[in-house]
Structure 1
């Protein structure tokens, strides 16, 4: 069954993204939000306990719980037995999974910005730069061999896009004029990069080393663009070949 709505950190339905077609929040969706919030605040709980708290039938509650289970937003565990073991299956308790809790929002982005800001204030901009370089190195190094064994920058861009997609960046490539464009349609650190562009700069430099050519960052999600777009030239005339360690070859 398709999800009816999503929740913000206060439990309400999130507004649609800019340009998106508004989705009407149904009574079913609102009730499911209430079920999920109750599990967040008081779980693990039985279906009967949820029904009593919300004033609706256990049958209706179980229907919503089944959807949350199917969407991997809730899980079950057996209720602890009290007294002698009786007949029948033990009662089932419901609680939210990490995915279900994420629907209500996290403060991870704010925490990350605060941490990097603290680093900048107490260790200086060079420390922020070093942090950005280490982070992107940890991201791309596992895929260095798979990318650099490709001969041409365009082929390397495709291999890099596949690697970034495995890391959650939803990346793709497309040929545009005399070049290839590497597009990242998602950026897990966009909120932090909007404050500290060193993250984007270090990423661009790492891409250049991997692809063996100069690249140009055309757009970033951190600046409000729809995707992070990097131009990769495929005309090699006059372009100095780079080695993966950042050096150059004649």
Structure 2
């Protein structure tokens, strides 16, 4: 069953960033006027807001972006419970106890990812599998090959954002997981970070002998 049009538009903005009605219409097989009508409805609901951008001379183009309310349509998994658990762990066991908890989660995740990547013989296959695993966990992940022979992995949603903001060791741990699971033949650098104000998290992945340019 296909998604309702409003959900498809919200998903499009979440995965691509702000879009024009023309871009949205082309992506979802509708007219620009039809997309504009849907954006007007979503704006009334407080889910999107317009951003007028000027490109050279002429009238500015109107882009539509998610509002904070719109971002909340993509859930932060069990955020309240997770925040309470992190606070309780820190209070009862201290910073060292919290680090042990993060290390335990890291080991479990790495084991699961490595098992899923059995048979992935190339770096490209491992990057593609990693993106699929992350998407299954709610990160809306995608990947592309770059002109220099490397790759870019992007995560358009962070389902643990509240927890990561409260405990940035989680982000450090996830970067370590990516480096470990992609193997010693790969370099991995985070180039965009939601907690630094970016729209998404992005990672430049290269071959160790030819690091990707960041």
| TM-score, with structure 1 as normaliser | 0.50
Map of 1:83 onto structure 2: none
Question: Are 2:97 and 1:127 aligned?
Answer: yes
Aligned to 2:81, which of 108, 111, 116?
Answer: 111
Map of 1:169 onto structure 2: 139
Residues 226 and 4 (structure 1), Cα distance of their counterparts in 2 relative to 1, 3 Å cut = closer
Map of 2:62 onto structure 1: none
Contact 1:191 1:222 in 2 (8 A): no
Deviation at 1:158, TM superposition (A): 1.0
Alignment root-mean-square deviation, CA: 3.5
Aligned to 1:206, which of 165, 174, 177?
Answer: 177
Map of 2:112 onto structure 1: 142
5+ residue gaps in structure 2?
8-12, 20-38, 46-71
**Structure 1 residues 211-222: aligned runs within 5 Å:** 211-212=182-183, 213-222=186-195
Query: Which of structures 1 and 2 has the bigger CA Rg?
Result: 1
- After superposing the two structures, state which structure 1 stretch, 142-151 or 123-132, moved more: 142-151
Deviation at 1:2, TM superposition (A): 4.1
Residues 218 and 140 (structure 1), Cα distance of their counterparts in 2 relative to 1, 3 Å cut = same
Residues 2 and 211 (structure 1), Cα distance of their counterparts in 2 relative to 1, 3 Å cut = closer
5+ residue gaps in structure 1?
6-15, 27-101, 240-250
Structure with more helix by fraction: 2
| TM-score, with structure 2 as normaliser | 0.57
Deviation at 1:228, TM superposition (A): 1.6
